[in-house]
Amino acid sequence: MDEESVREHAEAYCEALLAGDIDRAAHDLSNELRANLGQLVAMLPMPLTAASIESLERTAAGFRAVLHLVGENAETRVETRWKDRDNRPAIVEVSHLTEDAAEIEGTPEATPED
């Protein structure tokens, strides 16, 4: 499993989600995630209007890809962890990424009351 093959699978996963084809997207999931497909889909801002790979990096155990998913009413960033399963890249973990309060523009700083 190399970066190019993971990127190809991550792009195909994004394309499938964008097309609303959950069955096709499920092909890139591990058996454990497929067993909980409903919970995974509930995390996504469906229907999507855009889906892209924000970053892809090698980790000690495989690869980490951050996906930027934009729906009609919301957008989110999800972290996907990829490992080799049956000689192909597969998503073994998915989680939401949250922004630090300092990164959110327009957030007023808390001031102590006198």
CATH number assigned to the domain comprising residue 51? 3.10.450.50
Instruction: Report if residue 108 sits inside a domain.
Output: no
Q: What is the model's pLDDT at position 24?
A: 97
Instruction: Report if residue 112 sits inside a domain.
Output: no
Residue 107 has pLDDT above 50, yes or no: no
CA 13 to CA 27: how far, in whole Å?
8
User: At a CB cut-off of 8 Å and minimum separation 6, what does 91 contact?
Assistant: 13, 28, 29, 30, 33, 80, 81, 82
Instruction: Report if residue 91 sits inside a domain.
Output: yes
Instruction: Report if residue 58 sits inside a domain.
Output: yes
Residue 103 has pLDDT above 80, yes or no: no
Q: How many domains does the chain have?
A: 1
Instruction: Report if residue 79 sits inside a domain.
Output: yes
CA 114 to CA 111: how far, in whole Å?
9
Instruction: Report if residue 104 sits inside a domain.
Output: no
Q: pLDDT tens digit string along 48-71?
A: 999 999 999 999 999 999 999 999
User: At a CB cut-off of 8 Å and minimum separation 6, what does 48 contact?
Assistant: 17, 18, 20, 69, 70, 71
- Please give the average per-residue pLDDT across 59-86, as a whole number: 96
CA 110 to CA 50: how far, in whole Å?
34
Residue 102 has pLDDT above 70, yes or no: no
What residues pair up with 80 in beta bridges, in sequence order? Answer: 65, 94
**Residue 114: which pLDDT band, with cuts at 50, 70 and 90?**
very low
Q: Which domain holds residue 74?
A: 3-98
CA distances from 2 to 27, 28, 86 (A): 18, 15, 14
Instruction: Report if residue 60 sits inside a domain.
Output: yes
Q: What is the model's pLDDT at position 110?
A: 46
Instruction: Report if residue 68 sits inside a domain.
Output: yes
Q: What is the model's pLDDT at position 98?
A: 77
